[in-house]
Amino acid sequence: MAAKAEKLTAVKGMNDILPPDSARWEWLEAQVRALMARYAYSNIRTPIVEPTPLFIRGLGEVTDIVEKEMYSFEDRLNGEHLTLRPECTAGVVRAVVEHSMLYDGGKRLYYMGPMFRHERPQRGRYRQFHQVGAEALGFAGAEIDAELILLADALWKTLGLSDVRLELNSLGQPEERKQHRAALIAYFEQHVDQLDEEARRRLHLNPLRILDTKNPAMQALVEAAPKLLDFLGEASLAHFNQVRAMLDANGVAYSINPRLVRGMDYYNLTVFEFITTRLGSQGTICGGGRYDYLIEQIGGKPAPAVGWALGVERVLELLKEQGTANPAPALDAYAIIPDVTALPAAMACLQALRAMGVHVQMHAGTGEGMGSMKSQFKRADASGACYALIFGADELAQNQVTVKALRDGSGAQSTYSLANVADWASHLQSRS
């Protein structure tokens, strides 16, 4: 007798999304698609696997993502160095450059899909996680920064999320950051004994990353460090103030966080994060900013760009935490079929109902039996359907079906003709 096969399980930190929970994902995705259409953002879909140099060049070598978190490997067939995408902005930019998408002007794009980072799995942070992102490429004005922030703010309102706050900062331009960098290095060198090992390693490589430390023992030191806002020139300040003015005009509350730097090196000028206090350490649910030099870094003609990405798992966790309603679409009807001889007529009726937009589930038996009426009604009740459709022998003899209410407490029953399904199909639709 052959040995029993070993049970296989999912990779740690990469989760199955099962019904009925998957319906919450579909609901969120539908809200995103509808909102993106109202803002004239078009969908783009890029490969999950990209060339490793894309992320090294785009995100920066001295970043946690590139140094510690990427799933990179060598293609054994051709030796190409490949990486499961840890984020999607670099891939979107690569696609825009490769297909010359900016030849006729700027593009507003959005994406949804899985990303991969080798992190310690915890609530709201997984090794395969999902993002929704919006990118506006080819637009230099502060109005596009503001539009993207307004788009995210509109999404929170659409989803019914209230405990979300916006933090804003400006990283200025490269020359301004260069001056700030020199001041940071000089400051931290004076306090090198207070730096942890990670900060010491980054001191001369990328001191801006030190400002993003999560080490509580370094917070006071970081708080007193030179602020980039103090090094901004007239043009950078004007851009930042224009963004703020447009947010003010639209009633979007925000706070300025001079320590906000984001985790990738490609940002300049405006950066922002939407944060909640309800998810513990994983409080950032959306973040982004302007990245005017990334297109050129990836090999395209210089062009400005700005965008954001949100964590789907974190948004769904926040919806659950707030108790915000995001139900799955209601099942309208469940078909009770007492005998296999009723299947041809029943299935013809169900197909007609589905073609008219009714959500209906057919009872399926095992072998030749369909199960008792009692067991079928139990399944109908458990399905959440608002009505039971009963295809009994008496009904079929008169070319009819009995419709029984399951949810309003009345248990009311009506009979309808199978010859005129269109006349009563809308009566079953419980969805608003």
pLDDT at 177: 87
In a domain, 284, yes or no: yes
Confidence of residue 327 (pLDDT cuts 50, 70, 90): low
Are residue 337 and residue 423 in the same domain, yes or no? yes
Per-residue DSSP letters for 112-139?
A: EEEEE-----BTTB-SEEEEEEEEEES-
Of the candidates 386, 382, 380, the residue with the CA atom closest to the CA atom of residue 430? 386
Rg, C-alpha atoms of the chain: 28
Give CA–CA dist 172/289, Å, rounded.
11
Question: Which CATH number belongs to the domain containing residue 143 in this structure?
Answer: 3.30.930.10
Strands 42-43 vs 305-311: parallel, antiparallel or unpaired: unpaired
Are residue 167 and residue 99 in the same domain, yes or no? yes
pLDDT at 388: 95
Least confident range of 57-61, 79-83, 229-233: 57-61
Bigger pLDDT: 109 or 178? 109
Of 322, 342, 362, the residue at which a domain comes to its end is: 322
pLDDT at 1: 64
In a domain, 195, yes or no: no
Paired tokens of 295: 């297109």
Cross-strand partners of 72: 83
Calculate what percentage of the chain has a pLDDT beyond 70.
Answer: 96
pLDDT at 264: 67
Give CA–CA dist 217/430, Å, rounded.
56
Across 120-131, average pLDDT: 86
Specify the number of domains making up the chain.
2
Give CA–CA dist 144/136, Å, rounded.
7
- DSSP strands (E only) in 119-267: 128-137, 165-170, 255-256
Of 295, 322, 349, the residue at which a domain comes to its end is: 322
Across 202-220, average pLDDT: 84
Fill in the amino acid letter for 311: G
Q: Give the structural domain span for 48.
A: 21-172+232-322
Strands 268-275 vs 81-84: parallel, antiparallel or unpaired: unpaired
Encode pLDDT of 362-396 as tens digits.
Answer: 998 755 567 888 999 999 999 989 999 999 999 99
pLDDT at 432: 43
Give CA–CA dist 91/63, Å, rounded.
17
Are residue 277 and residue 138 in the same domain, yes or no? yes
Of 288, 322, 356, the residue at which a domain comes to its end is: 322
pTM of the model: 0.87
Are residue 91 and residue 237 in the same domain, yes or no? yes
Omega before 121 cis (within 30°)? no
For the four alpha carbons of 372, 376, 377 and 378, in that order, the dihedral sign comes to positive
Paired tokens of 327: 């139900």
In a domain, 97, yes or no: yes
Are residue 106 and residue 81 in the same domain, yes or no? yes
In a domain, 209, yes or no: no
In a domain, 200, yes or no: no
| CB of 403 closer than 8 Å to CB of 413 | yes
Of the candidates 326, 352, 347, 323, the residue with the CA atom closest to the CA atom of residue 335? 347
pLDDT at 284: 92
Are residue 374 and residue 260 in the same domain, yes or no? no
Question: Which CATH number belongs to the domain containing residue 396 in this structure?
Answer: 3.40.50.800
In a domain, 13, yes or no: no
pLDDT of residue 171 exceeding 70 = yes
Are residue 122 and residue 250 in the same domain, yes or no? yes
| CB of 27 closer than 8 Å to CB of 326 | yes
Are residue 127 and residue 94 in the same domain, yes or no? yes
Give CA–CA dist 98/96, Å, rounded.
6
**Percent helix, percent strand, percent coil in the chain, to nearest 5:** 40, 20, 40
Are residue 343 and residue 306 in the same domain, yes or no? no
User: Which residue do the tokens 């109202």 mark?
Assistant: 38
Are residue 345 and residue 405 in the same domain, yes or no? yes
Q: How far is CA 376 from the centre of its chain?
A: 38
Across 401-414, average pLDDT: 89
Are residue 403 and residue 314 in the same domain, yes or no? no
Confidence of residue 325 (pLDDT cuts 50, 70, 90): low
Question: Environment class of residue 322 by beta-carbon count within 10 Å: exposed (0-12), middle (13-18) or buried (19+)?
Answer: middle
Of the candidates 265, 266, 262, the residue with the CA atom closest to the CA atom of residue 274? 262
At a CB cut-off of 8 Å and minimum separation 6, what does 3 contact? none
pLDDT at 205: 80
Encode pLDDT of 277-307 as tens digits.
Answer: 888 777 899 999 999 999 999 999 999 999 9
In a domain, 217, yes or no: no
pLDDT of residue 28 exceeding 80 = yes
Backbone angles phi, psi at 383, to 5 degrees: -70, -20
pLDDT at 352: 96
Are residue 130 and residue 259 in the same domain, yes or no? yes
In a domain, 92, yes or no: yes
b/e 226-255 (16+ beta carbons within 10 angstroms → b): bbbbebbeeebeebbebbbebbeeeebebe
